[in-house]
Chains A and B, each alone.
Chain A
Amino acid sequence: MSNQMNRVRLAMSTPRDGACGKTGNWRTFRPVVDKETCNACGICAMYCPDGVIDEEYNIDLIYCKGCGICANECPKQAIIMNREASDE
Chain B
Amino acid sequence: MSSIPTTEYLKKCTSACPGCSSSLILRYVLKAAGPNTVLVVPACCTSILQGAYPNTSFGVPVYNVAFGSSAAVASGIAAACEFLGKDTNIIVYAGDGGTVDIGIQALSGALERETNFLYICYDNEAYGNTGMQRSGSTPLGAKTTTTPTGKTHLKKDLDRIISAHNIPYMATSCASYPKDIYAKVTKALSIKGPKFMHILAPCPPGWRYSSEKTIELGKLAVKTGVWAMYEREYGKLKLSSPTIAAIRKRTPIEDYINAQERYKNLEPAVLTRIQQSVEYNLLLLERESREEENNEAEERT
Contact = CB atoms under 8 A, between A and B. Distances in A.
B274 interface: no
Contacts of B56: 13-16, 19
B52 A73 contact: no
Contacts of B58: 15
Given A49-B24, A72-B213, A20 B14 contact: yes
Nearest to A41: B1
A32 interface: no
B81 interface: no
A49 B27 contact: yes
Interface residues of B, number: 38
Contacts of B53: 11, 13
A26 B19 CA distance: 12
Interface of B: 1, 6, 8, 10-21, 23-24, 27, 49-59, 178, 204, 210-216
Contacts of A19: 11, 50-52, 55-57
B16 A46 contact: no
A29 to B, nearest CB: 9
Nearest to A70: B212
Contacts of B211: 67-69
Given A67-B19, A68-B212, A69-B215, A20 B59 contact: no
Given A14-B54, A19-B55, A50 B12 contact: yes
Contact of A72 (B12, B20, B51, B212): B212
A27 B212 CA distance: 13
Interface of A: 11-21, 23, 26-27, 42, 46-52, 55, 60, 62-63, 65-69, 71-73, 81
A15 B56 CA distance: 5
B25 to A, nearest CB: 9
Contacts of A12: 54
A71 B18 CA distance: 14
B214 A67 contact: yes
A50 B14 CA distance: 7
Contacts of A42: 1
A23 B15 contact: yes
A65 B11 contact: no
A17 B20 CA distance: 19
A66 B17 CA distance: 10
Contacts of A73: 215-216
A71 to B, nearest CB: 7
A42 B1 CA distance: 8
A55 B7 CA distance: 11
B139 to A, nearest CB: 23
5 contacts: A13-B51, A18-B11, A23-B15, A48-B24, A51-B10
Contacts of B13: 18, 20, 23, 50, 52, 63, 65
A18 B56 CA distance: 9
B55 A13 contact: yes
Contacts of A69: 19, 211-212, 214-215
A20 to B, nearest CB: 4
B15 A16 contact: no
A72 B216 contact: yes
Contacts of A50: 10, 12-14, 16, 23
B23 A49 contact: yes
A52 B27 CA distance: 12
A51 B18 contact: no
Contact of B212 (A11, A20, A52, A67): A67
